[in-house]
């Protein structure tokens, strides 16, 4: 058993992060065992999976309507542009990530068994998930759900989710060490079930906006587990941009590998102790 200094000032950054992992896991455990919402929905894997499924079940044209401005901000951020980005006086150079909140129905936290467990029980790996959701045979989760529910051999069925609402585009800005989070438009009385937060990138590397957002939300689930010190379920063991918090910690602390990067091979999906 590893021993850490009693005085926080005497701990290494990795030891401090290990303690933070334990606190995050404790909140997750209380939520799972007692049903208390001890962590924000947009940091709760079960809520994020509901948002994933809602995005996957939404027709591509409708996804583009909901998230077109968000994708355009990503695309234009570093381009020579004449269009003004909606950043309310913030210097685009200070923007760390663009954000947009999702609200889905029915409530993903009221599902039993929990959504992350059900999703991971049906799918085995990220490639299979994308093939089933976006392939020619099963282009949406609505079709996939019908397939699952019609299979008597499967012990799990996946409920259908849909996007109830989205916020306007907002952002995280700062100096990449400290950051200020702006909020959405305030029209919704509850926390979002998920919050897209992507660094400026070229969306054209993905086949569709729907695939980009679906993969990004899956990476967020991955980061939630990693930041609790846990190995993510195999279906979420894919590389790519997840949460900004997860990306920062993977850059700063030795117990994490570069899960956010598609260019660095991963040797283990279980975070170390640093």
The rounded distance, in Å, linking the Cα atoms of 171 and 7 is 36
What the block records as the tokens of 73 is 């901000």
Stated pTM of the model: 0.84
30 in any annotated domain:
no
pLDDT at residue 20 greater than cutoff 50: yes
Tell me the percentage of the chain whose pLDDT exceeds 70: 71
16 in any annotated domain:
no
Containing 179, the helix (H) or strand (E) segment is: strand 179-181
Domain ranges, residue 110: 40-238
262 in any annotated domain:
no
Q: Of the given ranges (76-85, 120-129, 238-247), which has the lowest mean pLDDT? A: 76-85
138 in any annotated domain:
yes
Burial letters 199-226, b for 16+ CB under 10 A, else e:
ebbebeebeebbbbbbbbbbbbbbbbbb
Q: What is the mean pLDDT of the chain?
A: 81
Q: Can you give the pLDDT at residue 139? A: 41
Q: What would the pLDDT profile of 144-196 be if each residue is shown by its tens digit?
A: 444 444 454 444 568 899 999 999 998 886 654 444 454 555 567 789 999 99
The rounded distance, in Å, linking the Cα atoms of 62 and 105 is 16
pLDDT at residue 242 greater than cutoff 50: yes
- Neighbouring CB atoms inside 10 A of 25's CB total 15
4 in any annotated domain:
no
Q: Can you give the pLDDT at residue 131? A: 61
Mean pLDDT value across residues 133-144: 47
> Nearest CA to 219 among 200, 247, 189?
247
pLDDT at residue 138 greater than cutoff 50: no
Q: What would the pLDDT profile of 44-95 be if each residue is shown by its tens digit?
A: 999 999 999 999 999 999 999 999 999 998 888 655 444 444 445 555 556 6
pLDDT band of 22, cuts 50, 70, 90:
very high
143 in any annotated domain:
yes
Total structural domains in the chain?
A: 1
Q: Can you give the pLDDT at residue 8? A: 63
Q: Can you give the pLDDT at residue 152? A: 44
Q: Can you give the pLDDT at residue 103? A: 97
107 in any annotated domain:
yes
């Amino acid at each position: 058993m590893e021993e850490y200094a009693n005085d926080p000032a005497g701990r290494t950054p990795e030891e401090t992060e290990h303690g933070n992992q334990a606190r995050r896991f404790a909140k997750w455990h209380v939520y799972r065992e007692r049903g208390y919402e001890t962590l924000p929905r947009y940091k709760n894997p079960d809520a994020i999976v509901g948002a994933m499924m809602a995005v996957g079940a939404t027709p591509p044209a409708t996804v583009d309507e909901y998230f077109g401005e968000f994708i355009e901000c990503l695309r234009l951020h570093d381009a020579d542009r004449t269009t003004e980005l909606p950043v309310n006086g913030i210097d685009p150079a200070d923007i760390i990530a663009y954000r947009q909140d999702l609200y889905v129905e029915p409530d993903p936290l009221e599902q039993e068994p929990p959504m992350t467990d059900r999703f991971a029980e049906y799918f085995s790996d990220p490639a299979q998930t994308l093939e089933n959701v976006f392939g020619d045979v099963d282009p949406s989760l609505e079709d996939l759900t019908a397939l699952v529910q019609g299979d008597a051999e499967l012990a799990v069925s996946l409920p259908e989710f849909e996007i109830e609402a989205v916020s306007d585009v907002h952002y995280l800005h700062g100096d990449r060490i400290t950051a200020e989070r702006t909020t959405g438009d305030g029209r919704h009385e509850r926390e979002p079930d998920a919050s897209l937060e992507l660094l400026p990138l070229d969306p054209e590397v993905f086949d569709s906006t729907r695939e980009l957002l679906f993969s990004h939300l899956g990476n967020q689930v991955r980061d939630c587990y990693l930041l609790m010190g846990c190995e993510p379920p195999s279906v979420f063991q894919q590389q790519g941009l997840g949460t900004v918090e997860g990306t920062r910690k993977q850059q700063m602390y030795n117990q994490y590998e570069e899960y956010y990067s598609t260019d660095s091979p991963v040797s283990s999906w279980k975070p170390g102790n640093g």
